[in-house]
Chains A and B, each alone.
Chain A
Amino acid sequence: DVKVTQSSRYLVKRTGEKVFLECVQDMDHENMFWYRQDPGLGLRLIYFSYDVKMKEKGDIPEGYSVSREKKERFSLILESASTNQTSMYLCASSSQTPISNQPQHFGDGTRLSIL
Chain B
Amino acid sequence: GIQVEQSPPDLILQEGANSTLRCNFSDSVNNLQWFHQNPWGQLINLFYIPSGTKQNGRLSATTVATERYSLLYISSSQTTDSGVYFCAVESELFQGGSEKLVFGKGTKLTVNP
A residues adjacent to B (C-beta < 8 A): 30-31, 33, 40-45, 48, 50-51, 54, 56, 58, 88, 90, 94, 96-98, 100-101, 103-106, 108-109, 111
Contacts of B43 in A (CB 8 A): 90, 106, 109
**Using a Cβ–Cβ cut-off of 8 Å, how many residues does chain B contribute to the interface with A?**
28
In angstroms, Cα B96 to Cα A96, docked, is 7
Looking at A33, A94, A97, A100, the one whose CB has the most chain B CB atoms below 10 A away is A100
CB A91 to nearest CB in B, in angstroms, measures 10
Tell me which residues from 76 to 104 in chain B have a Cβ below 8 Å from any Cβ of chain A. Answer: 86, 88, 90, 93-101, 103-104
Q: Is B45 an interface residue (CB 8 A)?
A: yes
| 9 A-B pairs in the complex with CB atoms less than 8 angstroms apart | A31-B99, A48-B98, A48-B100, A50-B98, A94-B98, A100-B31, A100-B90, A100-B93, A104-B101
A114 smallest CB distance to B (angstroms): 18
Q: Are A100 and B42 interface neighbours, CB within 8 A?
A: no
What distance in Å separates the Cβ of A3 from its nearest Cβ neighbour in chain B?
12
Contact present for B45 and A105 (CB under 8 Å): yes
> CB within 8 A of A100: which of B33, B44, B99, B104?
B99
The 7 A-B pairs at the shortest CB distance, nearest first, are namely: A50-B96, A106-B43, A43-B103, A103-B48, A42-B105, A50-B98, A100-B99
List of A residues within 8 angstroms of B41 by Cβ: 88, 108-109, 111
Chain B contacts for A44, CB-based, 8 A: 103
Residues B94 and A56 in contact, CB atoms below 8 Å apart? yes
Across the interface, name the chain A residue whose C-beta is closest to B45.
Answer: A103
B31 CB contacts on chain A under 8 angstroms: 100-101
Measured in the bound complex, the distance between the Cα atoms of B104 and A104 in whole Å is 15
The interface residues of chain A lying within 8 Å CB-to-CB of B30 are 100-101
Assuming A30-B98, A50-B97, A109-B43, what are 17 further A-B pairs, CB within 8 angstroms? Answer: A30-B96, A31-B96, A31-B98, A42-B103, A42-B105, A44-B103, A45-B101, A50-B94, A56-B94, A88-B41, A90-B43, A100-B93, A101-B50, A103-B33, A108-B40, A108-B42, A111-B41
